[in-house]
Amino acid sequence: MKKWLVLFIVFALLPFNFFALRAQKLNQTKLPFEVNYATFRASKGFDYLEVYSAIYRSQLKFVKDSTHHFRANFRLEIDIVKGDSVLFKDTVKKVTYTDSLSKVSRSQKLPDVSRVYIRPGDYNLRVTARDL
C-alpha cells in the first residue's frame, strides 16, 4: 500500500516537475536561476502552493549609482497556466546593493517565495527571470 502511495505521489507531481525544470532551462540564457515548489492540502477544496526561486547574485549586472555603491535590478515572473488561461501571475521586482563588487560571490543566491491557493489539478508552471 505504501509503495503505491509513493508511486502515485511521484506520478501526480511529475507534470508539475517537468514544467518547472523546463522553465528553468528555457531561461538560462536570460538569467540563471533555480526553481522548486511545494504543495500542501488546504481547506475547502484548495491546495496551498509555494513556488521557491533563487537567482544567483553573481550573474546580475551591477551598476554604480550616485552614492558610489553598486546596485542590480531584476524581475521574476511566475505564471501558473492551465490551457490558454493564466490562473495566477506574480511579478516581483527587486534590487540588491553592494558597496564593493568583490563582495559578490557565486555562492550568494537571492531567494523568493510566491504563495497561492489553487484548486487541485494539472497546471503548467512558467518562471522567467530577467536582469534589468
Backbone CA torsion sign across 11, 20, 18, 86: positive
Question: What CA–CA distance (Å, rounded) separates 86 from 126?
Answer: 10
The answer to whether residue 22 scores a pLDDT higher than 60 is no
Mean pLDDT of 13-27: 43
Report field, pTM of the whole predicted structure over 0.85: no
Question: What CA–CA distance (Å, rounded) separates 78 from 88?
Answer: 8
pLDDT per position as a tens digit, 81-94: 888 899 899 999 99
Share of residues in the chain with pLDDT > 70 (%): 77
What does the domain layout of the chain look like in residue ranges?
2-131
Fold of domain 2-131? Immunoglobulin-like (2.60.40)
pLDDT per position as a tens digit, 31-47: 778 889 888 888 888 88
